[in-house]
Amino acid sequence: MSKSVKHLVMLALFTTMALTIFVVEAQIPVPVPIPGVKLGLANVRCIHARAEDGAKLPELREQFDMATARAVAAMPVLTEYCLPFVKQGGVFAAMKGPSETAEQAETAAKLLGGDGWDGVLKKIDASSVSCLDGALYCSHYSSQSSDERVQTFIKNYTEKFGEAPNTFAALGYDAAYMMTKAIENAGSTDSAAIVEAMKNLEYDGITGHMVFDENRNPIKSAVILEINGGAESFVENYEK
């Protein structure tokens, strides 16, 4: 894109914003001649970025009382774009017509969490647990597994520590045994030999079958869990 075209595009963008503010302020009959003051917009900050990129910035994520968007997409898409900007207790004002059902909106607002969510129910006040109903997250294993090894691990861990193991305990258990197996395969405690053995290691553990790719990342299945009524339930195993 040439410099002149870029200037023209930027001019069009700023003109659009200026007209928008003008039209909105025209609806409020307050005799203040300075643009922006009527709505408290004198310190407006314009950020040019894709919503999915801006929401990853700490200074923007969960920082605003309200977020809104033009009706340019279905409710699930708008929810994904706007909710990350809204602070806890804030409002996402979706400009949608009657064609969007309440069910669509409810489904779109389900919470999705990563594997760090295991144990989240212990961090939530009992009166607020219902806020997590319908939330889905991926983990490394499920306590509801029918695998005899998993159930034996849970039983032994609970007897020893007085509480059920979370996913991090299961990962630590597997990590220790993977290291042991790598040392056995290497036939040595030399670090270089162990690393080399790890590259070709195949391990079936509490958290599933694992191998490593050329970048030393583990390739394994994930477990999808759902929270409802203050309890977690198994949904499915996900294989890459």
Is residue 188 very low, low, confident or very high in pLDDT (cuts 50, 70, 90)?
A: very high
Looking at the DSSP bridge assignments, the partners of residue 228 are 231
User: Tokens in use for 61?
Assistant: 């994520």
Mean pLDDT of the chain: 79
Q: What average pLDDT does the segment 194-210 reach? A: 90
191/93: higher pLDDT: 191
Q: What is the DSSP string of 166-219?
A: -HHHHHHHHHHHHHHHHHHHHTS--HHHHHHHHHT--EEETTEEEEE-TTS-EE
Q: What average pLDDT does the segment 121-133 reach? A: 77
Cα–Cα distance, 76 to 99 (Å, whole number): 13
User: Tokens in use for 119?
Assistant: 């144990």
Looking at the DSSP bridge assignments, the partners of residue 237 are 223
Answer whether 134's CB lies under 8 Å from 105's CB.
no
Closest CA to 40 of 49, 28, 58: 28
User: Range with the lowest mean pLDDT among 10-14, 105-109, 175-179?
Assistant: 105-109
User: Tokens in use for 46?
Assistant: 């314009």
Looking at the DSSP bridge assignments, the partners of residue 224 are 138, 236
Closest CA to 59 of 37, 26, 85, 33: 85
Q: What average pLDDT does the segment 6-22 reach? A: 64
Q: What average pLDDT does the segment 143-152 reach? A: 91
pLDDT exceeds cutoff 80 at 136: yes
User: Range with the lowest mean pLDDT among 16-25, 65-74, 136-145, 193-202?
Assistant: 16-25
pLDDT digits (tens, 9 = 90+) for 81-112: 888 888 877 777 776 665 555 555 555 556 66
Is residue 178 very low, low, confident or very high in pLDDT (cuts 50, 70, 90)?
A: very high
Q: What average pLDDT does the segment 183-188 reach? A: 93
Is residue 43 very low, low, confident or very high in pLDDT (cuts 50, 70, 90)?
A: low
Question: CA-CA distances (angstroms) from residue 80 to 48, 64, 94, 143?
Answer: 18, 15, 12, 30
pLDDT of residue 185: 93
**Longest C-alpha distance within the chain, in Å?**
85
First to last CA, the chain: 39
User: Range with the lowest mean pLDDT among 4-18, 71-85, 126-140, 213-227?
Assistant: 4-18
Break the chain down into helix, strand, coil percent, rounded to 5. 45, 20, 40
pLDDT digits (tens, 9 = 90+) for 63-73: 888 888 766 67
Q: Which of 76-90, 128-142, 155-169 has the largest mean confidence? A: 155-169
User: Tokens in use for 79?
Assistant: 């929810």
Answer whether 94's CB lies under 8 Å from 105's CB.
yes
